[in-house]
Amino acid sequence: MLMQASALPLKAFRRGKVRDVYEVDADRLLLVATDRVSAFDVVMAETIPHKGAVLTQITAWWLRQLESRVPHHMLSANISEIVREVPALRDYEQELAGRAMLCRRTTVFPIECVVRGYLSGSAWKEYREKGTLAGEPLRAGLRESDRLDPPIFSPATKADEGHDENITIDRMRSVVGAPAAAELERLSRDVYETGRRIAAERGIIIADTKFEFGSVATTGRTPGPNVILVDEVLTPDSSRFWPADRYEPGHGQPSFDKQPLRDYLEAEKRAGRWNGNYPPPPLPKDVIDATSSRYLDIYRRLTGHTLDPNGTN
């Protein structure tokens, strides 16, 4: 079942480019990953089959792999368990299957915690033009897609609309304070290194990724660590996944994400049929199908399973 937007009998909390978030109670939120897709910070009119379920279930899979190393916000991504906890959703079980996650409520730090293990994307563009990343110099002579050892922690500001902005660690400290900045960097590096090792065992390179963290009260119904991992984790929307057997530095790499969509939109730009702003051009069926296949493929490669729409893998 495709979902462009959700309409649930809960109080709306916020709506992002892909996720609709609802209040369950003072301690919990419901995250619903729709099948909306964005590229170049523009949300497309069409939806991508299975995308919402893939994002939710990959995140749930990763959180189960990581929970011995980092606390997180997930309470359940199994729709039967969620409906038991939130009976008001009983009539929406089929609609929400696979794409909903019940979570602890946090105060989210206004920082995207980006870790770059390889020089690609916007980082490569800045380096090529200025020899820097977020204004900080990198060593000379790097090529596109070169491995970065150690990985670079490169924070950015969060933006619901428009572009995130790469910032220096000093600026991050001024936003969240030095102790929180140090903890966010420590956790980000640890999660990335753990994820990179697990993915490598499956023939996948995680070139870069971004994490979000939230703070929680240490008393009441949600006792525990003060800083926890939230939102999506190591998904094809938040990360750059490359096939290890095709890795070759010096140029861009094939990827398990929405590259067919980006390639199509870039071609529309070059042809003068799209200026890069809203509204986007209509998406042909073959682009939609190819993008959906990429999402399903990375889910299978990472988890070893085909997608279960009920979220029971």
Of 105, 140, 174, the position where a domain reaches its end is 105
Check whether residue 195 and residue 228 sit in a common domain.
yes
Residue 199 lies in a domain: yes
Check whether residue 64 and residue 118 sit in a common domain.
no
Check whether residue 92 and residue 40 sit in a common domain.
yes
Find the CATH number of the domain harbouring 37: 3.30.200.20
pLDDT in tens, 138-165: 999 999 999 999 999 999 987 655 567 8
DSSP notation for 127-147? HHHHSEETTEE--TT--TT-E
How many structural domains does the chain have?
2
Of 231, 246, 261, the position where a domain reaches its end is 246
pLDDT in tens, 160-210: 555 678 889 999 999 999 999 999 999 999 999 999 999 999 999 999 999
Check whether residue 183 and residue 74 sit in a common domain.
no
Kindly report the pTM of this predicted structure: 0.92
Check whether residue 34 and residue 158 sit in a common domain.
no
More confident residue, 310 or 204: 204
CB under 8 A, 24+ apart: contacts of 292-297: 292/48, 292/49, 292/50, 292/51, 294/236, 294/256, 294/257, 294/258, 294/259, 294/260, 295/48, 295/50, 295/51, 295/54, 295/55, 295/236, 295/257, 295/258, 296/50, 296/54, 297/256
Residue 288 lies in a domain: no
Tell me the residue range of the domain where 145 lies.
108-246
Q: For position 222, what pLDDT does the model report?
A: 47
Check whether residue 140 and residue 152 sit in a common domain.
yes
Q: For position 224, what pLDDT does the model report?
A: 47
Of 45, 71, 105, the position where a domain reaches its end is 105
Residue 143 lies in a domain: yes
Angstrom distance (rounded) from CA 280 to CA 268: 10
pLDDT in tens, 261-286: 999 999 999 999 999 999 999 999 99
Check whether residue 66 and residue 193 sit in a common domain.
no
